[in-house]
A and B are shown apart, each in its own frame.
Chain A
């Protein structure tokens, strides 16, 4: 099983809403990532978790709040977003930060902020 599952696939939210994106993997990976991808651009790293601890925050605004409740799950809590936050949000996982192996991406959540 090399699958990273993201839910929901699509999300439309107002600027005053609170929503969460979910990501799950069962590959035993201990590094998990959130990326943001705008149209026709490469993915941009937002957060990295290593062994359920936040390792990297790429200066992401506080309206994005990550959470890693266990080694298989990664959440991204959204609050008071702006229309420019509309993008494809990708979750990825890899074996561990100390092991240089491939990162597997989920299918993404297409987020539209209205």
Chain B
């Protein structure tokens, strides 16, 4: 119930292409869904986040799509660039600011030039 399942484990995309990473959850108490980007040897950096009262949020080339009924959310990276090559983690947090961020297992994205 506390799991967030993330796929794919790795993704290779050509420059200019669209990168899509998917996450699914079971716990309906999750109320906040952030995505983190992590470069090797660095800490995770918040990329974009969504709450379940909206179906889509866009920030620049990054878009989160959220399907509450299916309990799924996804990250779309438009016009992918080599600089986007990193590991991406989806996460979920329960209502009221529960202590735990439950992370997906991560997706290693490689954008080829």
Which B residue's beta carbon lies closest to that of A42? Answer: B103
A100 and B36 alpha carbons, distance in the complex (Å): 16
B100 at the interface (CB under 8 A from A): yes
List of A residues within 8 angstroms of B45 by Cβ: 105
Chain A residues whose CB sits within 8 angstroms of the CB of B99 once the complex forms: 31, 33, 45, 48, 50, 55-56, 97
Against B, the Cβ 8 Å flags (1 = close, 0 = not) of A56-73 are: 100000000000000000
Residue pair A42, B34 in contact (C-beta under 8 Å): no
Q: Give the A-B contact count at a CB cut-off of 8 A.
A: 65
Interface residues on B, range: 20 to 34
| Assembled-state Cα–Cα distance A106/B103 (Å) | 17
Q: How large is the interface on A (under 10, 10 to 19, 20 to 34, 35 or more residues)?
A: 20 to 34
Check A99 against B44 for contact (C-beta < 8 Å): no
Assuming A42-B89, A42-B105, A43-B103, is B98 touching A104 (CB within 8 A)?
no
Query: What residues make up the interface of B, taking CB atoms closer than 8 Å to A?
Result: 31-32, 34, 36, 41-46, 49, 89, 93, 95-101, 103-106, 108
Q: List 9 contacting pairs A-B, 8 Å CB cutoff, sorted by A.
A: A42-B89, A56-B100, A88-B43, A99-B97, A100-B93, A103-B34, A103-B46, A105-B44, A108-B43
